[in-house]
Amino acid sequence: MTDSLAGKNVLVVGMARSGLAAADLLKKRGAYVKVTEVRPGETLMKEIRFLEDRGISFEAGGHQDRSFLDAELIVISPGIRTEIQPLQKAKERGTAIIGELELASRFLSGKVVAITGTNGKTTTTTLIGELLTNAGYEVQVGGNIGTALSSFVESSAAHTWNVIEVSSFQLELTPTFRPNIAVFLNITPDHLDRYASFDAYFEAKLNLFRNQSPADLAVLNYDDGNLQRISNCIGSGIYWFSSRKKVPRGVFMNADELTWRNGEVQTAILHRSDIPLKGEHNIENVAAASTAAVLAKVLPAQIGQSIRRFRGVEHRLEYSGKIHGVEFYNDSKATNVDAALKAINAFESEIVLILGGRDKGSDFRTLIASIEKHVKCIVLLGEASSKIRSQLGGIVPTEQSTSMTNAVEIAYGKASSHDIVLLAPACASFDLFENYEHRGKEFKKAVNELAARVGVTQHVAKK
């Protein structure tokens, strides 16, 4: 594959993190590379500087048909819809079109653990990385989080474990991508603003297993009926995880003991009370990560020690401070209804919930039962406010905010001592923020500023 790229005209579509990493990799492999981006150049100064420093040509402010017609290979970034007209024309001409994940995987050395699912990907990916690192393995963690996979190619070696989060977008164009261990956490409706149906979204996710062989391994959620249903179609060796049921082989919660089982042999990993993360969904994430780690030959005792020390991931049920008895939690990564539902159900105390952002075709009525049980007030923020109000209005008092600072102020005003203020938006962030990380940081900033105004000293690390 390396030689086949030398001297080849390759177009990279998209100038975000994955696109830049792909362009850099292609340039190093001898291709003639061009990057095309619809955003105007004046908003891309850092990205353009990156390309210019490497002698990579580019166009901004729109896709030119000629760029697609001249390309012998097209590599698209995850955020690019495959239905755009220039890509369709290239496809009709027979031009090869792949995703950045596929490109990187063709050059990557070492073993790959790939994690997908609607929710829990980042926590599980990060935890698997820590479990393997603490066991003495050389590990690279990235993909859909942190570092694009293309950036790991040069630093990978035969002994490297590449632990990568993969989204449905990344899995769309992966004709040869083949992880050694494939972890599928769960599947619920999401991204219905991009996919025509839930089935289409699910089908994209299932590309995770398409190229696996019997020598490879799959880790599935035993409690997810959709994953049970498709398990017979997977050609690799299947292991399971569960927070509620005994599994044939894999990791499950045995009474209050997280346990590895392989046939009749069972080995305790750690007690439920030693898992530092909140929520039943995080029990599932820990069980999934533990299963993958055992399959990578990490001892159960080592896994238990590492889990005890794990403190979670930024923007995922992240404790963000306490003001006069009111605790604040940042779950900005809850970008869909199911993630918000799990966040709400993680608490026993009454919640003031900050909800809203850019809608992804969601049905917010799924939240009704949990809101009735746990939430005393909803504070709305962003584009989806009207839709959320129409679907949830009248269940609990609802307030409208104009900014994150305003939302935090309103939420604090509605909370009593021992209540929780929870940011779990159930929406994408792109209406008011650059991404979910930016949204979460603005939430934490607003909490710290509020604490200063009311005379409380914060003792929470500002990530």
Q: What is the pLDDT of residues 34-63, one digit of tens each?
A: 999 999 999 999 999 999 999 999 999 999
Question: Does 109 have pLDDT greater than 90?
Answer: yes
**For the residues 434-449, what does the mean pLDDT come to?**
96
**Which 3 state secondary structure label does DSSP give 453?**
helix
Cα-Cα-Cα-Cα torsion 351, 356, 360, 362, nearest 10 degrees, comes to 50
Question: Does 428 have pLDDT greater than 60?
Answer: yes
Distance separating alpha carbons of residues 388 and 404, to the nearest angstrom: 17
* Res. 383 pLDDT band, cuts 50 70 90: very high
Q: Which two tokens stand for residue 154?
A: 């040069």
**What is the pLDDT, as a whole number, of residue 333?**
94
**What is the pLDDT, as a whole number, of residue 311?**
87
DSSP state letter for 350: -
**What is the pLDDT, as a whole number, of residue 460?**
58
DSSP state letter for 116: E
Question: Does 285 have pLDDT greater than 60?
Answer: yes
**What is the pLDDT, as a whole number, of residue 59?**
97
241, 294 Cβ separation under 8 angstroms: no
333, 429 Cβ separation under 8 angstroms: no
In CATH terms, the superfamily for domain 108-309 is: Mur-like, catalytic domain (3.40.1190.10)
How do residues 343-367 score in pLDDT, each as one tens digit?
999 999 999 999 999 999 999 999 9
**What is the pLDDT, as a whole number, of residue 1?**
43
Question: Does 330 have pLDDT greater than 90?
Answer: yes
Question: Does 2 have pLDDT greater than 60?
Answer: no
**For the residues 423-428, what does the mean pLDDT come to?**
97
Domain 2-99 part of CATH 1.20.1260.10 = no
* Res. 459 pLDDT band, cuts 50 70 90: low
Domain 318-453 part of CATH 3.40.50.300 = no
Distance separating alpha carbons of residues 59 and 82, to the nearest angstrom: 19
| This prediction's pTM | 0.87
**What is the pLDDT, as a whole number, of residue 96?**
96
- % residues pLDDT > 70 (the chain): 98
Dihedral of alpha carbons 167, 168, 173, 179, sign: positive
Domain spans of the chain?
2-99, 108-309, 318-453
**For the residues 97-124, what does the mean pLDDT come to?**
97
**For the residues 90-117, what does the mean pLDDT come to?**
97
- % residues pLDDT > 90 (the chain): 93
DSSP state letter for 358: B
411, 421 Cβ separation under 8 angstroms: yes
Q: Are β-strands 265-271 and 257-262 bridged in parallel, bridged antiparallel, or unpaired?
A: antiparallel
Q: Which two tokens stand for residue 270?
A: 């750690």
How do residues 20-42 score in pLDDT, each as one tens digit?
999 999 999 999 999 999 999 99
**For the residues 143-161, what does the mean pLDDT come to?**
97
The mean pLDDT value of the chain amounts to 95
Question: Does 190 have pLDDT greater than 50?
Answer: yes
How do residues 120-131 score in pLDDT, each as one tens digit?
999 999 999 999
Q: Are β-strands 237-242 and 217-221 bridged in parallel, bridged antiparallel, or unpaired?
A: parallel
Distance separating alpha carbons of residues 23 and 6, to the nearest angstrom: 14
Q: Which two tokens stand for residue 359?
A: 């809608």
